[in-house]
Amino acid sequence: MSNSDYEVVIAGGGHNALACAALLTKYGVKTLVVERNAWVGGGVLTREVTLPGFKHDLYGSSHVWIHINPTFKNELQPELEKYGLKYIWANDHITGHPNLEGQGIIVYKDEDKTCDTIAEYSKNDARRYREIYEEFEEVKDGVVAAMFSPPSPPSYMFQALENNSEGLRRLRDYQLSSRAFTLKNFENPHVRAFILGWAMAPQTLPDQEATAQGFYVMIPSIHVFGESIPEGGSGMLCEAMKSYIEANGGHVMTGATVDKFIVENNECKGLRLADGTDIQATRAVVTAFDPQQTFLRCMDEQEVDPRIRSIIESFSFGNVTIARAHYALHEAPVFKNGPDMTKTPFQRTFGSIADIDRQYNEIAAGEKPTDPFLWSACWTLKDPTRAPDGKHTMIMDTFVPVELASGEDWEEIGPAYVRDVLLRNMQRHTSNMTEDNIIAEYIDTGPQLARDNWSFVNGTTTGGERILSQLGAFRPIPGFAEYRSPVVNLYMTGPSCHPGGGISAMGTNTANVMLEDFGLKEPQSAF
């Protein structure tokens, strides 16, 4: 196949790019995916980084939002299951929240069981948690439609809610910060820390305005839609999409670095690789890169409107990165809160709101967090295929500042920080996370993240800071949030686009818009 035989060429091989390519392929569009690394997956990747036979999800691991995506669920997943994709569902225990005071809180698939654990700390908080769940039942169809359609103008939410007192109340609550919402709705300090901890998953700040609306989606979604992991590792999703694309007339090219987009008279014609090879696209090009890579690195200055360039130059990725350890273990962690906490594969370990505040203040000051929260997951409890018989894998991480005021390099100090701070914290909550239980380790910090994936700018992993000016109709560029870029025939996908980072396969959003433009699919609307 010559270069000119490709109708669509996609720059980047993350899971959103692959989802976009898979859907285009399903509709008969000959598509080429070009990926710099020798592997595909981007932030949805599984590799044996500690020892052979121990499969570690390097970045994204828990699959929730992807199952809300109607296009993925109805059009792609049945096809991908033919190529090895098999999901393992959490039918009971989903996330644990260990606590040194009391039994801890467990989020079950069943909201009643979850409320029972919250009630051990506060019956009022359990009642309010249930109310939030019930409110989500009322709006979930609209939430799903809004996530997996081009974003609506900012005024639409106001117009929909401002005509009655209940709507205005909800609109007011949506404008609160995560902290304000938590303090307003919950009373027990441990429950408050558990609730606020959920808000920080997309790396939002506790006092960031309008982050409270996430509570009405994030927590109840677990109970409504559930949580799953692919058998064999998170990256099996991407391997299945790659196989599907190539079995149906497309191609995935790895080990090929995109040098620039070929633009003539404000129209994108194809890609130029670092080795000088030009790849033409007869219909369109898709960028899965972040906007700065796309419009600043891969285009000449005269090819980008100065007003657009100015907006893109100010696009913020934030100052929060990750310090993470991957462990090969003899035994799964045994939590001091008891057997129910131990059998829960995914843990969010928080102390109090004061502890959260201290950590974010330290991050803002460019300091190493002294007593950070932990996120940990032992997925081999659900999927024994990820390790040799009887053995386990575990992820453990926390948020840290991108740059340290001390001038220290995270890559140099990361192993000691993980051992002296993160592991010590984990040992406070477990009885067996001793060095004797650790067979091997792999430490990942911001500099390594940035090298492995260019979209992890400075070691950040969200595709762009989730602030009001970079969400919805503003993401990634105001006026170009519907996946069509300022350059004709150049479409955009990936975590820098609406609805943002996470394992959602939002690349189907981009593909749907393209298929509509190609006349291969009827236009869809969120309303």
Is residue 124 assigned to a domain?
A: no
Is residue 447 assigned to a domain?
A: no
Structure tokens at 91: 């039918």
Is residue 479 assigned to a domain?
A: yes
Question: What's the pLDDT score for residue 164?
Answer: 66
The domain tally of the chain equals 1
pLDDT per residue as tens digits for the range 36-89: 999 999 999 999 999 999 999 999 999 988 999 999 999 999 999 999 999 999
pLDDT per residue as tens digits for the range 284-324: 999 999 999 999 999 999 999 999 999 999 999 999 999 99
Cβ neighbours of residue 242 under 8 Å, at least 6 residues apart? Answer: 18, 33, 40, 252
pLDDT per residue as tens digits for the range 109-153: 999 999 999 999 999 999 999 988 888 777 778 778 888 989 887
Please name which of 476, 397, 499, 501 lies closest in space to residue 58, comparing C-alpha atoms. 397
Q: Determine what percent of the chain falls in helix, strand and coil, rounding each to the nearest 5.
A: 40, 20, 40
Is residue 523 assigned to a domain?
A: no
Is residue 294 assigned to a domain?
A: yes
Is residue 27 assigned to a domain?
A: yes
Structure tokens at 444: 């990942």
Report the 10 Å Cβ neighbour count for 150: 20
CATH number, domain at 261? 3.50.50.60
CA-CA distance, 515 to 504, in Å (whole number)? 19
- Predicted TM-score (pTM) of this structure: 0.94
Four-CA torsion 259, 260, 262, 267, nearest 10 degrees: 160
Amino acid at 63: H
Is residue 31 assigned to a domain?
A: yes
Mean pLDDT of 456-474: 89
CA-CA distance, 278 to 466, in Å (whole number)? 35
Structure tokens at 21: 């390519």
CA-CA distance, 330 to 392, in Å (whole number)? 6
β-strand pairing of 8-11 with 284-287? parallel
CA-CA distance, 4 to 416, in Å (whole number)? 52
Looking at 120-235, list the stretches that DSSP marks H as alpha helix, in order from N- to C-terminal side: 123-147, 155-161, 165-174, 178-185, 189-199, 215-225
Give the domain range for residue 37. 3-44+64-86+232-316+465-517
pLDDT per residue as tens digits for the range 246-264: 999 999 999 999 999 999 9
Average pLDDT, the chain: 91
Four-CA torsion 16, 17, 21, 24, nearest 10 degrees: 60
Mean pLDDT of 412-424: 97
Is residue 452 assigned to a domain?
A: no
